[in-house]
Amino acid sequence: MTDVATDVGTEQEAFDALIAADQRVEPRDWMPDDYRKTLTRQISQHAHSEIIGMQPEGNWISRAPSLKRKAILMAKVQDEAGHGLYLYSAAETLGTPRHVLNEQLLNGRAKYSSIFNYPCRTWADVGAVGWLVDGAAIANQVPLCRCSYGPYGRAMVRVCKEESFHQRQGWEILYTLSHGTPEQKKMAQDAVDRMYAPALMMFGPPDDQSSNSDKSMAWKIKRFSNDELRQRFVDMIVPQAEALGLTLPDPDLKWNEERQHYDFGELDWDEFWKVVKGGGPLNVQRLNRRIEAHREGAWVREAAAAYAAKHTETVPNLIGA
């Protein structure tokens, strides 16, 4: 007869050895319940962020200042939808079906990135989203390409490639504006002034308030702490801001020769937690729009389900693939 305790011990040991050897955990491998739970949490929140994150820029597709800008923005917003789909698929490999994850978003129980609860007021904001928000997303996600869970790490490789194009297009919008008329430059500066602190908050709370980091880093889901990544991002954007001819709105921002990093001012963490808990400027509007879009898409889901049911018998791999 099998000794269950010994079996669990063996499985745990095999899992620990895999993590220690920097190898990948795959969907069919045994994994601790907590590992599965924290990955499902992070990946689904990430997926929700991509989907809700389509709204601020999506709003500007019909208002983009030229056909070329419109085409570029449309492609970018569409990419974010694609990222959401890869991520829901990665989350599903952990055992929670997508409709359950979606319900958690629609009933307001699931989190998504705080940044998307801020408004995108001007065309310059679209540039600032690309430069700062996609820039922060890249800084956060490049290390996730080495995440210990295979499907998440592999999804991140493709996502990061696309995010690099997104960041570049945002930078180019801001560069054009900051080298345009005085009004355009002012608009670019105003966008950066409003978007800078919320972008820095995307990396999560300070390490001493981050409840998940220790475990996630031990499991090699996260490779760096929230504060480490935030510092990397600040170091990266200071010279970029100089090249843009724009200033970052932080009087405490200065190079620290000893640390070989930029020092920067304390962020308003009360504001961060308020936004995370649903009290940001646009939390209600963003969620309501998603609920409405989901309702409007009911006929598409019904048609897809009917098509799948009809073709399952004749083309079985269509569903299973």
The DSSP result for 41-69, as a single string, is HHHHHHHHHHHHTHHHHHTTGGG-SSHHH
Closer to ligand FAQ by Cβ: residue 95 or 180? 95
In contact, 114 and 201? CB cutoff 8 Å: yes
Closer to ligand FAQ by Cβ: residue 166 or 185? 166
Residues 77-106 that bind ligand FAQ (CB under 6 A): 80
Per CB under 6 A, does 203 bind ligand FAQ? yes
- Crossing angle of helices 226-244/134-141, nearest 10°? 140
Q: CA torsion angle for 36, 161, 146, 261 (degrees, to 10)?
A: -120
Residue 198, C-beta contacts closer than 8 angstroms, at least 6 positions apart:
114, 115, 118, 275
Query: Closest Cα to residue 144, out of 64, 24, 238?
Result: 24
SS3 202: coil
Using the rule CB under 6 A, which residue among 211, 260, 314, 317 binds ligand FAQ?
A: 211
The least CB distance from residue 187 to ligand FAQ, in Å, is 20
Per CB under 6 A, does 181 bind ligand FAQ? no
Closer to ligand FAQ by Cβ: residue 49 or 185? 49
In contact, 105 and 112? CB cutoff 8 Å: yes
Closer to ligand FAQ by Cβ: residue 75 or 319? 75
The least CB distance from residue 284 to ligand FAQ, in Å, is 16
Per CB under 6 A, does 160 bind ligand FAQ? no
The least CB distance from residue 275 to ligand FAQ, in Å, is 7
Tokens (6 digits) for 120: 């995108």
Residues 272-301 that bind ligand FAQ (CB under 6 A): 276
Closer to ligand FAQ by Cβ: residue 185 or 202? 202
Using the rule CB under 6 A, which residue among 91, 177, 200, 201 binds ligand FAQ?
A: 201
Percentage helix, strand, coil, to 5, in the chain? Answer: 70, 0, 25
Of the candidate spans 182-190, 212-220, 233-241, 294-302, the one that interacts with ligand FAQ by CB under 6 A turns out to be 212-220
Residue 46, C-beta contacts closer than 8 angstroms, at least 6 positions apart:
87
* Interacting residue ranges for ligand FAQ, rule: CB under 6 A: 41-42, 45-46, 49-50, 53, 80, 111, 113-114, 129, 133-134, 137, 140, 201-205, 210-213, 216, 226, 276
